[in-house]
Amino acid sequence: MSNKKRILFIIDSLAAGGAEKVVLTLARTMVQSGHKVSIITADNKIEYDIDFAADTHTLDFKKSKFEPTYYKYAKRLQRLVGTLEQEHGAFDLVTAHLQKAHRLTAKAGIKKAYYCIHSTVSQGSLAGRSGIRLYFKRRRLKKLLDGKDIITVSNGIAEDLLKVVRIKPRSIRTIYNPVDFELIRRLANETNPYKNEDYIIHVGRLTPSKRHDILLQAYAKSGIKQKLLLLGDGPLKVAIQQLAHELGIADRVIFAGFYTNPYPIIKSAKLSVLTSDYEGLPTSIIESLVLHVPVISTDCPSGPREILTGNLANALSPVGDINTIAHNINAHITNHQNKAEINDSYIYRFTPQNVVSQYLKLAQ
């Protein structure tokens, strides 16, 4: 029997985002090891460069008012997987990532599928709901995930699923997200368009859960001279720009937008800051540490506490605590934390080879 496996990833899209980058890192590492990888996206949207030999397909998902959309595209997924297996052999491992892919995979009845959960469900899908709305949303989630094989990207997500959402899976395991140290460090040597600036950085989409309002208020209160560079795009850009004006810091906040290669920009930052209300396993923290950039983060559910261990745990702040975040920003800049203190022993468990080996154990 060949040790080379056929792996299928099903995901909403390959738009700019953390889960999408995780899937591409997994796929790239598997291909480099000689395995055959296929990727099926629900939406026809690809924003990352696919720099390896993967077999990619899209369902070209489009909502319709006149027909049951998920049923239609689940059938399309079922036919596509059947065709790929008929032409090239059965898949040894199937993983589905993000909510749309989860629903389509379940409705299509894809066998041997693992459902990968990338964020804290009670803080995301169930947030802001109460009473009957909360009951029915939790019921839909349980219908989708009960009896399934689940992978969570942090222990905190697993605990949330079991104790808060009360999912009853067939199996559940935590496999951390992979981060390609070698690739990140190589790409970080390219030209930084902000090389003449002195700045701290936030990496992430401009969305409500990232709490840029908290970030800007803490930055303003910190009193540091470095600028704040926001690396990412999103629907709250105008609101965040307006808040920067109201706080009198508009001339010190750089809206850099999205970069396919953000690493030269991250590498030159004096500090990387995360102020989220919730996460799954925030890759931006790990990538900053790979580049030996000091990190401060909210101690949100879930992930930061599992990444920032040992001496790095001093960088955690309570969620929403502007004063503590401001103090930590100032302290890290004032104390000039030595980048040499951030070594790979803190982050070895996130290497692609280590993570992929855990996935391949499931492909038996």
Residues 268 and 311 grouped into a single domain: yes
How many angstroms separate the CA atoms of 154 and 116, rounded? 11
Do 191 and 240 lie in one domain? The reply is yes
Question: In Å, what is the CA distance from 47 to each residue of 15, 24, 50, 77, 182?
Answer: 5, 12, 9, 22, 22
Q: Which residue, 69, 52, 48, is CA-closest to 7?
A: 52
Q: Are residues 239 and 331 in the same domain?
A: yes
pLDDT for 123 equals 76
Nearest residue to 259 via CA among 203, 185, 213: 203
Helix (H) or strand (E) holding 227: strand 227-231
Give the contacts of 104 (CB within 8 A, at least 6 positions apart).
Answer: 10, 42, 59, 61, 70, 73, 74, 77, 96
A 10 A CB-CB count for 355 gives 21
For 48, the domain range is 6-178+351-360
Region 97-121 average pLDDT: 94
266 shares a domain with 148? no
Examine residue 1 and state whether it is found in any structural domain, yes or no.
no
Task: Print the SS3 string covering 265-328.
Answer: HHHCCCCEEECCCCCCCCHHHHHHHHCCCCEEEECCCCCHHHHCCHHHHHHEECCCCHHHHHHH
**Partners of 38 in the β-ladder:** 8, 55
pLDDT digits (tens, 9 = 90+) for 266-317: 999 999 999 999 888 898 999 999 999 999 999 998 889 999 998 899 999 9
Domains contained in the chain, number: 2
Is the domain of 289 the same as that of 338? yes
Whether residue 173 sits in one domain with residue 33: yes
Task: Establish whether the linkage from the previous residue to 33 is cis, with ω within 30° of 0.
Answer: no
Does the pLDDT at position 340 exceed 60?
no
- Determine if the pTM surpasses 0.75: yes
What does the buried/exposed string (b/e) look like for 258-282 if buried means 16 or more CB atoms within 10 Å of the residue's CB?
eeeebbbbbbbbbbbbbbbbbbbbb
**Measured between alpha carbons, how far is 207 from 37 in angstroms, rounded to an integer?**
32
Same domain, 124 and 166: yes
Torsion, CA 37, CA 42, CA 48, CA 52, rounded to 10:
10
Q: What percent of the chain has pLDDT over 90?
A: 78
Identify whether residues 238 and 120 lie together within a single domain. no
For the stretch 180-232, pLDDT in tens is 899 999 999 999 999 999 999 999 999 999 999 999 999 999 999 999 999 99
Residues 329 and 200 in one domain: yes
Distance CA 317, CA 153 (A): 22
> Residue 225 belongs to a domain with what CATH number?
3.40.50.2000
Residues 28 and 123 in one domain: yes
Q: Assess if residue 94 is contained within a domain.
A: yes
Q: Tell me how far the alpha carbon of residue 259 is from its chain's centroid.
A: 16
Same domain, 125 and 222: no
